[in-house]
Amino acid sequence: MSDTGYGDFEFERKFFVRELPAAALSEPDPVLIVQSYFLAAEGYALRIRLQAPATALPGAAAPPPAGGGAPVAAGLDEVALLGALADRFDSCFLTAKGPYIGGTRYEAERELDVSVGLAMVRLGGVKVVKYRYSVWLGSDGWVLDAFLGRNAPLIVAECERGGPVTDLAIPDFCVTEVTADPRFANDTLANHPYALWRADFEAELAASGPRFLEEFGSNELGTSSDQ
């Protein structure tokens, strides 16, 4: 949510990534996010997000070692996950979102009591689970989401600003831009997980090659992600 005069709107650009860069893997405090969508239709979404330290998740879905790809996600059980992390979640948010329009989206957010949010997530909603890494590259902050469960091994990078994301230095780990592709929105992934259309997307990418939107000013492609 922006506090720079744009009200409850967020401005971001999103990119498909094949492997987490070293800059992300060296981040000391990644987080584990469990999102439950109670509404996800026609670009509108109502969700509850729970967050815990990434180290809170035991077993097969641990964060990857330096130089690895997406986290291993075999056998992720969302019910068991909520039980295992019940006392490890440290924040919870209720968020309402509108459709993306030109890299802009309405977003209104309110913090919830963790116990109330956890109870609501247990009672319903379609889940999306992911690790989030935050890095600072040049003059921009980036987040990289490595998805688990039905959306593994998808990795998406986002650059968000308090205003339109123009004249962007795009790091070398970004394969192609997906800002305008609704399939990559988290609320879409909740009901249409990456596992169902991964092959189709890879075929599209192989046929068309990488694409980067040109309506946001100049793109400086392939900038180094080394810190």
Stated pTM of the model: 0.87
Among 63-77, 119-133, 164-178, the least confident range? 63-77
Instruction: List, in sequence order, every beta strand (DSSP E) within 18-88.
Output: 31-41, 44-53
CB 48 within 8 A of CB 94: yes
Residues contacting 161, CB < 8 A, separation 6+:
11, 12, 140
What is the pLDDT averaged over residues 121-148?
A: 92
The yes-or-no verdict on residue 194 having pLDDT over 50 is yes
Beta bridge partners of 116: none
Confidence tier at 219 by pLDDT (50, 70, 90): confident
Among 53-67, 81-95, 165-179, 187-201, the least confident range? 53-67
The yes-or-no verdict on residue 4 having pLDDT over 50 is no
Domains by residue range for the chain, with CATH: 10-223 (2.40.320.10)
